[in-house]
């Protein structure tokens, strides 16, 4: 385990609703200048993915203003089922033990996915799916799907955050923490979706990242020996102030840092390819399998009908 982690360390927003998907590019999922070496998934590893499914609204108008130019979409039963089918097929293809979702409106939306994904369905008292509902009207929330039992969970949206200017705020969506009973020991995952760049509030996104780092560090102390991973649509790119805040003090390792930029982008904003969906490993909580980070995308740049790619990586439990 120490050897694996040593290898890793040695390697080491959406800005609006209008998007411009990239054209098909044979080098979009690999570095064409580097021979591709197959990554063998180690026995006992856990694959964790993060996927912003993009505005998965149910068929009920909760806000009273739906469809057309309104924020809340109101799909027909047929359109809702078709979106659920597309998303479920895409999620299934990730072959992930745990999937951290973004932009799921309601429990009905999440239930539509799990109904199509037996691997993540609750069985008796064993829970395998979880929605981080904020309670807001027409909110698009985070969620967790797990092939392994969810043994406990909590949210952090009530935590008071501090912007760089000293003003206070809260997480724009829930920061959902789920504790899982996984082979090899306990796993703790955080499903995150930081403030978007629509009517931007970069100070809030910085505050979210700064607090998330501290919360993950607390989880590592509270669950010694657990694999601890944070992932989701963080709406900013490597080198930005929010991600620098998240990576400060060496608490978290962005696992895509060992891959070329041609492989890590997840969103195209008018042709500008950006890596804004991320997976982070708590350095004292398990190990990343070097080279296993992948961004799943189709020819247009998104995935499963979403305007975002999905990201995944393989991890080993702490020993």
Provide the whole-model pTM.
0.89
Name residue 54's beta-bridge partners: none
The residue-averaged pLDDT of 171-182 equals 98
What is the chain's mean pLDDT, rounded?
90
Would you state the pLDDT for residue 105? 98
Q: Strands of 227-233's sheet, edge to edge?
A: 150-155, 176-182, 185-193, 227-233, 277-282, 252-254
**Tens-digit pLDDT profile for residues 120-131:** 999 999 999 999
Q: Give CA torsion, residues 181, 183, 185, 189, to 10 deg.
A: -50
Alpha-carbon span 21 to 158, nearest angstrom: 36
**Pair 303, 296: CB distance under 8 Å:** yes
Query: What is the full DSSP assignment across 224-257?
Result: TT-EEEEEEE-S--TTSHHHHHHHGGG-EEEGGG
Which of 3.90.1180.10, 3.40.50.300, 3.60.10.10, 1.10.490.10 is the CATH number of 2-10+46-59+71-316? 3.60.10.10
Would you state the pLDDT for residue 319? 66
3-state SS, residue 28:
coil
Q: Is the pLDDT assigned to residue 12 strictly greater than 70?
A: no
Of 98 and 27, the structure prediction assigns the larger pLDDT to 98
The residue-averaged pLDDT of 64-85 equals 96
3-state SS, residue 6:
helix
Would you state the pLDDT for residue 152? 98
24-28, 153-157, 216-220: range with lowest mean pLDDT:
24-28
| Nearest alpha-carbon partner for 98 in 143, 53, 56, 140 | 143
Would you state the pLDDT for residue 39? 72
Q: Is the pLDDT assigned to residue 110 strictly greater than 60?
A: yes
**Pair 167, 180: CB distance under 8 Å:** no
Alpha-carbon span 249 to 16, nearest angstrom: 31
**Tens-digit pLDDT profile for residues 234-286:** 999 999 999 999 999 999 999 999 999 999 999 999 999 999 999 999 998 78
**Tens-digit pLDDT profile for residues 29-63:** 444 334 455 678 899 999 999 999 999 999 999 99
Q: How far from chain centre, in Å, is Cα 157?
A: 17
**Tens-digit pLDDT profile for residues 183-227:** 989 999 999 999 999 999 999 999 999 999 999 999 999 999 999
Alpha-carbon span 79 to 77, nearest angstrom: 6
Would you state the pLDDT for residue 160? 98
- The torsion angles phi and psi of 45, rounded to 5 degrees, stand at -80, 165
Would you state the pLDDT for residue 4? 44
33-42, 147-156, 302-311: range with lowest mean pLDDT:
33-42
Alpha-carbon span 30 to 36, nearest angstrom: 8
In this prediction, what percent of the chain has a pLDDT beyond 90? 83
Q: Is the pLDDT assigned to residue 10 strictly greater than 70?
A: no
Q: Is the pLDDT assigned to residue 310 strictly greater than 60?
A: yes
């Amino acid at each position: 385990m120490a050897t694996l982690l040593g290898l890793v360390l040695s390697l080491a927003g959406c800005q609006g609703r209008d998007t411009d998907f990239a054209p098909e590019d044979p080098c979009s999922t690999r570095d064409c200048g580097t021979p591709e070496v197959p990554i063998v998934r180690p026995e006992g590893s856990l694959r964790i993915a993060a996927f912003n499914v993009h505005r998965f609204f149910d068929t009920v108008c909760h806000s009273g203003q739906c469809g057309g130019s309104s924020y809340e979409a109101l799909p027909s039963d047929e359109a809702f089922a078709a979106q659920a089918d597309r998303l479920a097929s895409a999620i299934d293809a990730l072959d992930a033990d745990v999937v951290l979702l973004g932009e799921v409106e309601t429990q009905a939306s999440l239930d539509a996915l799990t109904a199509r994904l037996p691997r993540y369905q609750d069985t008796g008292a064993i829970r395998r799916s979880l929605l981080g509902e904020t309670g807001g009207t027409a909110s698009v929330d985070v969620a967790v799907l797990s092939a392994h039992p969810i043994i406990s969970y909590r949210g952090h949206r009530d935590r008071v955050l501090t912007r760089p200017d000293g003003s206070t705020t809260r997480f724009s969506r829930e920061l959902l923490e789920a504790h899982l009973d996984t082979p090899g020991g306990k796993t703790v995952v955080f499903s995150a979706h930081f403030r978007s760049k629509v009517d931007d509030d970069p100070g809030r996104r910085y505050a979210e990242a700064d607090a998330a780092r501290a919360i993950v560090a607390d989880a590592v102390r509270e669950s010694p020996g657990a694999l601890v991973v944070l992932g989701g649509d963080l709406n900013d790119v490597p080198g930005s102030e929010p991600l620098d805040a998240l990576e400060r003090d060496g608490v978290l390792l962005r696992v895509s840092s060992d891959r070329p930029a041609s492989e890590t982008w997840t969103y195209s904003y008018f042709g500008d390819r950006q890596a804004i969906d991320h997976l982070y490993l708590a350095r004292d909580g398990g190990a990343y399998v070097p080279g296993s980070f992948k961004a799943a995308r189709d020819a247009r740049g998104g995935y499963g009908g979403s305007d975002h790619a999905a990201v995944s990586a393989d991890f080993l439990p702490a020993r």
